[in-house]
Amino acid sequence: MVTAAHVIKGPDPERIESIAGQKVANVDKLGRAKWGRTRLGPLALKPERIYIDNETDLCIMTLNSEEWKLLDMSTIQLQDILPLKPKMEVGVWGFPDVQSPQHEEVNVTSIERGYFVLNRPLEGGYSGGPVFSADEQLLGVVVRSTEKQSMCIPLEMIKEAISRFNENSVVYEETVLNET
């Protein structure tokens, strides 16, 4: 599973929170998994292995088959990389403060520093969500929004991170944290 790292780490990576009545702790400031579960829509999930790339704000994780079934999501086959072009119409998916996934149609405005930029901001909850072309090919993942636009990691960068997963991922262990 691929998402934005800040979705997993939260605004304060060492803070313990509660989601749907379950305690949640994420990864520490060094990107090491400590304990807990992560939110996806209304669900709190516990990854088996996790890799955080802080430079790109990308997170890759594996889930056990039981939790994967809970998600009731399709697996996306990574295809050839489609060229991104300004004015290209794309669709984004996310969970903006609702339990069901939401869909928005937006346009690519530019490609900057390896990321592609969308023509408007997306509300919280779209971070980590997939971006698809009009013919439903995966183009990337939403990572951040500003007042005027949204930034996405392109599929090429995702494929590079996936190639580093086995070497750089860590077991997402359940250990008790001190609550002070």
* Other CB atoms within 10 A of residue 89 CB: 11
Where do we find the tokens 């069901």?
A: 100
Burial letters 156-167, b for 16+ CB under 10 A, else e: ebbeebeeebee
Q: What is the pLDDT of residues 33-51, one digit of tens each?
A: 444 456 555 566 777 888 8
List, as own/partner pairs, every contact residues 73-82 make where C-beta atoms lie below 8 angstroms and the sequence separation is at least 24, other chains included: 76/130, 76/138, 78/138, 78/155, 78/158, 78/159, 78/162, 79/137, 79/138, 81/154, 81/155, 81/156, 81/159, 82/133, 82/137, 82/139, 82/155
Q: What percent of the chain has pLDDT over 70?
A: 72
40 or 166, higher pLDDT: 166
At 92 the pLDDT is 95
Q: What is the pLDDT of residues 50-102, one digit of tens each?
A: 888 888 888 888 888 887 777 766 677 777 777 888 999 999 998 777 667 78
Burial letters 92-118, b for 16+ CB under 10 A, else e: bebbeeeeebbebebebbeeeeebbbb
**What residue spans define the domains of the chain?**
2-73+161-171, 89-157
**What distance in Å separates the CA atoms of residue 50 and residue 61, rounded to the nearest whole number?**
4
Helices and strands, number each (H, E), in the chain: 3, 14
- pTM recorded for the entire structure: 0.75
Pick the range with the lowest mean pLDDT from 21-25, 82-86, 105-109, 145-149: 21-25
83 CB-side CA count, 13 A: 2
The reply to whether CATH 2.40.10.10 applies to domain 89-157 is yes
Pick the range with the lowest mean pLDDT from 91-100, 109-118, 131-140: 91-100
Amino acid at 85: K
Q: Are 118 and 90 in contact (CB under 8 A)?
A: yes
75 or 119, higher pLDDT: 119
The encoded tokens of residue 46 equal 């516990």
The encoded tokens of residue 27 equal 């990864």
